[in-house]
A and B are shown apart, each in its own frame.
Chain A
Amino acid sequence: MTITSTPVTGEATKTWSGRSMPRKEDGRLVQGQGSFVDDGGMHGQGYAWFVRSPYAHARIVSIDCEPALAMEGVYAVLTGDEAKAMCQAPFFAIAPPPGSLMQEWPLAVDKVRYQGDAVAVVLADSRETARDAAERVVVEYEPLTPVTDTVAAADPAAPLLYDEAGTNVAWHGLFDYGDVDWALENADHVVKLDRLHFHRFTSSPLECNGAVVDFDRGTGVVSVLSNYQMPMFAAMVVGPTIGVPMNKFNFVSKDIGGAFGIKIGFYPQIAALALLSKKAGRPAKWTEFRTEHMLTAGHGNERTFLDVEVPVMADGTILGLKVRAFDDAGAYLHYEPLGAVIWSQVVPGCYKLKHVRVDYTEVVTNKCPVVPNRGYSRMQHLWLVERIVDVVAHELGLDPVEVRKRNYVQPEDYPYETPNGCIYDSGDLPRSLDIALELAHVAEWRERQRELGTGTGRRIGIGIGSTLDSGTNNFGQSRIINPDLPFSGNGEAAFAKLDLFGEINVNLGTTPQGQGHETTAAQVAADILGVTPEDVTVTTGFNQANNSYVGFSGTYASQFAVSGLGAVMGAAQKLRHQIVKLAAFALQAEEDEIELEGGSARVRGDEERAIPFIGLSNMVYTNNAGLPASLLDECDLNARYVYVPPFEVPDTVAKTGNLTLTYASQVHVCVVEVDEETGEVKVVEYAAVDDCGNRINPLVVEGQVHGATGLGIAASLYESLDYDESGQLQEPSFYEYHVGTAMDIPDVACGDIESPSPFTPNGAKGMGEGGGAPLHAVCAALQDALGAGAPVVSESHNHWARVYELLHRDPGAPRGVEVVTRTAEPGAGVESL
């Protein structure tokens, strides 16, 4: 498969792009003048409160709303049955059967399937009254046996969440590339791991979900003021269910207090609020509270890897991997089973693995539904690959640095085609690793590790995490899950215009949550239009009425630098073209003589012949008599551009194709100190090297690296979501869920490489999610601290008690790893690989 770049043609002076500049957004945010969803409202609104199930799995016997309705100030109560009766269909299913039979409605119908499942929603004249009234809705449940174990859920004998599906398996597929059987037969060693487990956690944005929804019965327009991060996806899912066409939605968002993918998950609430508003005849405002968020807003994918087999040559060359993966989607398939293919954007990780077989099963369980969570689905697979590479080094007594360097995709290999047809665009992993090792002072730490020796009660461990941040999805990969889906490619829109007095305005289709889009979009537009970023007003947030959107608009999946800024570049260049045309007419010059500088168009070399933008706006908007019609036809000073990345539909049978446009890379190095007596782990040094191609604003890029690192370290050591056997979440608030604080997360030394992407208009690559590198690096550091002959670090979450267990496990107990070494003809035939 070949890919050609699609540069947006036009002039760019590059004065502002590439520069670290503080953000335009900050002024309002440091003064408490941001506009977050709970700060706003609509006239006449009521306050909504959901009635939620205390059981993980139960039949709904009856719901009595009368005690709530009898309360003064209660406007309406909507139950699951009522909501279903108002709907035209269940939510659109991404999965084919049997997953498509696992239907979801705005509120639970007949059954509840996880603790926190919403059975009704109350609307009242205050938040407090709504909350009181919700407690008076009497729901009678008949508890059922909950399913909480991911692998056991796939057993045909397990209790069913959806009787109509006849199974808890939502999706199953075999991803088989190269010839892993041949590799296992011919390798010098086969490293076998029994079980690796990637835990459930959430990046838990500090602002919970929220929405104010108005179903205008007069016009049929549904207005949604929310902090939803992928608004038109919500419209496409909710619309057919509640019977609202796309042109009767008005999704609006302003400032969003973090999202990390989690804010793709609450479209059922938006649907329920729309129906509640329709019933009550007034807008419904809902502000999620933290415990509600932890129980119901969505968790990251939990994945269990069984029967891992890794063919390795004597020199440390890893030929591939074979594994059975079980992914836990929780109770409803919100965005799933997309995760079942998303991981395959990074099949070989950073390495030249040729033979990969993943037998992938996704199940439903009586837990909170999973939703995309920073590093969505790739992070889990990358962690598997990183654990494999690390364990191979330890078990074969090889240097972890050398094993990585030997197996990395090399700088000269780009563009590199993976076994499943993805094209890694550019990078320099060995150099990234060298920089990271230096930044983390690894040579000195190795020395201290040796000096410390044994018997001191303290250990030092050094670990590496190498990952990819694949950005700008080809939505055609969804057809690998379900060939009948009408999705492929991707895109993003932007608008650039001169307003009535010559002001420059840019509207985006994205929903920034801290990524600084107002600033970077202004930098890019300023370069093209010959002004400063201060001269460019970028509208805050998303507004459907701006018509600056396509189906996949939003902020997710590490793509703004490519698709969002690609759209801004295109729109600004279209506007520039119009400005030049108008100015050439006004100044009686040729178009190629016109240059833009300081908010004016002028004839090159003749300072006297110039016209300010306000003059051009005047010509078009308020003083156009006598202008040639052809000129006005072409130049309305409003330019919309849709950036579309170059993609083809993947081969859904072979499960191959280019699934993402860019591959930013991160190499992290972590040094930990472990207390043998308590199992306490302290990160004492940390370095991160990011390569995301050309950086539009390095300050913003580095901020993203810091953030992804902080969340990853916290997830690896402090944050885990666990259910007991009855399906009760053990960490339903920030008391139990220990969110990483400033005392937990260390300073991070950052390095960078810029390997421009040949496939993007600006050489940039999407970044921000990171690939969960801290989880990989911390696990590797712990493995290093445990030393030779220790058990395998088989969990992605390693709180002190688990580390203590690893340190003190009986030496005779299983280590979770076995190395089978071939005795005859080592390496025969492998050269032909």
Chain B
Amino acid sequence: MGERGTSHAVTVEVNGEKVSRIVAARQLLVHFLRDTLGLTGTHIGCDTGNCGACSVIVNGKLVKSCMILAPQVDGATIETVEGLADGDSLSPLQESFHEHHALQCGYCTPGMLMSATYLLRQNPDPTDEEIRRGIRGNICRCTGYVNIVKAIRAASREQASGGRPVPAAAGEEV
């Protein structure tokens, strides 16, 4: 890559792994994840912060990674879709999305899963209205959201009935 101009050292913990890179001052977090670290699960859909395909969790907060520069997250703990599964074992939300056909093309899915993960950490038993509010920043063009809402609801019920909980935020005491 022939990116020129001011550069910065960035050290972050991504999905439990500490990484350090020198990046261009203007590099977006989403490009840092995709291009520099090769974590291509985080997607780009709109460039304007509207679609949520690039959603990741930074220091426990849901962030649209196309709206923040990589140097701004120096020192942060970042969770991306690649970190949701525990080895071969899918997270309850991933499992539920599969079971309920909550994805079609799969392009919005990583961002949608991160928003849903964040939502269930904040509100383990959301109503349908709260689920819809929780994912309003994530656009899906394939499903009409019907099965996404259903899948998130089912994952929260599973959690409430003593099933596996949504994993706690990385770097946070729970």
Question: Using a CB–CB distance below 8 Å, which chain A residues touch chain B?
Answer: 22-23, 25-34, 36, 38-39, 72-73, 124-126, 128-129, 203-208, 255-258, 260, 289-291, 513-516, 699-700, 702-703, 706-711, 713, 733-735, 739, 741-743, 745, 747-748
- Asked whether B80 lies within 8 Å of A711 as measured between CB atoms, the reply is no
Could you write out 5 A-B pairs with CB less than 8 Å apart? Answer: A23-B101, A30-B103, A38-B34, A739-B141, A742-B132
- Asked whether B142 lies within 8 Å of A707 as measured between CB atoms, the reply is yes
Interface SS of chain A: loop
Query: How far is A532 from B88 in the complex, measured between Cα atoms in Å?
Result: 22
On whether A257 and B107 interact (CB within 8 A), knowing A72-B4, A128-B3, A734-B139, the answer reads yes
On whether A206 and B107 interact (CB within 8 A), knowing A31-B94, A710-B145, A742-B148, the answer reads yes
B57 within 8 A of A: no
Query: How far is A255 from B106 in the complex, measured between Cα atoms in Å?
Result: 8
B47 within 8 A of A: yes
B50 within 8 A of A: yes
Query: Which residues of B in the span 117-161 have a Cβ within 8 Å of any Cβ on A?
Result: 128, 131-133, 135-149
- Asked whether A513 lies within 8 Å of B105 as measured between CB atoms, the reply is yes
Contact indicator per residue, chain B 24-35, by CB within 8 Å of chain A (1) or not (0): 101000000010
On whether A699 and B145 interact (CB within 8 A), knowing A124-B2, A291-B47, A733-B48, the answer reads no
Query: Which residues of B in the span 33-55 have a Cβ within 8 Å of any Cβ on A?
Result: 34, 39-48, 50-51, 53
Number of interface residues of B (CB under 8 A): 59
- Asked whether A514 lies within 8 Å of B139 as measured between CB atoms, the reply is no
- Asked whether B144 lies within 8 Å of A31 as measured between CB atoms, the reply is no
- Asked whether A203 lies within 8 Å of B141 as measured between CB atoms, the reply is yes
Residues of B near A126 (CB, < 8 A) are 1-3
Taking A22-B99, A28-B106 as given, write out 12 further A-B residue pairs in contact, using a Cβ cutoff of 8 Å, ordered by the A residue number. Answer: A26-B97, A26-B98, A32-B110, A39-B40, A256-B105, A514-B106, A709-B144, A710-B143, A733-B48, A734-B50, A739-B50, A745-B145
Q: Which of B24, B82, B142 contacts A258 (CB 8 A)?
A: B142
Shortest A72–chain B CB gap in Å is: 7
On whether A748 and B144 interact (CB within 8 A), knowing A26-B97, A734-B46, the answer reads yes
Residues of B near A709 (CB, < 8 A) are 144
Query: How far is A30 from B104 in the complex, measured between Cα atoms in Å?
Result: 11
Residues of B near A706 (CB, < 8 A) are 143-144, 146-147
B81 within 8 A of A: yes
Shortest B94–chain A CB gap in Å is: 4
Question: Using a CB–CB distance below 8 Å, which chain B residues touch chain A?
Answer: 1-4, 24, 26, 34, 39-48, 50-51, 53, 80-82, 84-85, 90, 94, 97-99, 101, 103-110, 113, 128, 131-133, 135-149
Residues of A near B113 (CB, < 8 A) are 30
Query: How far is A206 from B45 in the complex, measured between Cα atoms in Å?
Result: 5
- Asked whether B101 lies within 8 Å of A29 as measured between CB atoms, the reply is no
Query: How far is A733 from B99 in the complex, measured between Cα atoms in Å?
Result: 33
Nearest B residue to A33 via CB reads B41
On whether A742 and B98 interact (CB within 8 A), knowing A32-B80, A32-B82, the answer reads no
- Asked whether A36 lies within 8 Å of B98 as measured between CB atoms, the reply is no
Residues of B near A748 (CB, < 8 A) are 144, 146
On whether A257 and B43 interact (CB within 8 A), knowing A32-B110, A707-B142, A747-B146, the answer reads yes
Residues of B near A707 (CB, < 8 A) are 104, 141-144
Residues of B near A290 (CB, < 8 A) are 45-48, 51
Query: How far is A278 from B84 in the complex, measured between Cα atoms in Å?
Result: 42
- Asked whether B2 lies within 8 Å of A73 as measured between CB atoms, the reply is yes
Residues of B near A25 (CB, < 8 A) are 106
Which of B105, B108, B143, B146 has the largest number of chain A CB atoms within 10 A?
A: B105
Shortest B8–chain A CB gap in Å is: 15
Query: How far is A710 from B140 in the complex, measured between Cα atoms in Å?
Result: 9
Nearest A residue to B90 via CB reads A30
Shortest B50–chain A CB gap in Å is: 4
Query: How far is A317 from B123 in the complex, measured between Cα atoms in Å?
Result: 55
Q: Which of B40, B51, B101, B139 contacts A32 (CB 8 A)?
A: B40
Q: Which of A27, A125, A206, A255 contacts B98 (CB 8 A)?
A: A27
- Asked whether B84 lies within 8 Å of A31 as measured between CB atoms, the reply is yes
On whether A289 and B47 interact (CB within 8 A), knowing A23-B101, A129-B2, the answer reads yes
Shortest B65–chain A CB gap in Å is: 13
Nearest B residue to A75 via CB reads B2
- Asked whether B101 lies within 8 Å of A700 as measured between CB atoms, the reply is yes
Q: Which of B3, B40, B48, B105 contacts A205 (CB 8 A)?
A: B105
Nearest A residue to B129 via CB reads A743
Query: How far is A741 from B136 in the complex, measured between Cα atoms in Å?
Result: 6
Which of B39, B99, B109, B136 has the largest number of chain A CB atoms within 10 A?
A: B109
Shortest A728–chain B CB gap in Å is: 18
On whether A735 and B135 interact (CB within 8 A), knowing A30-B98, A258-B141, A703-B104, the answer reads no
Which of A129, A206, A710 has the largest number of chain B CB atoms within 10 A?
A: A206
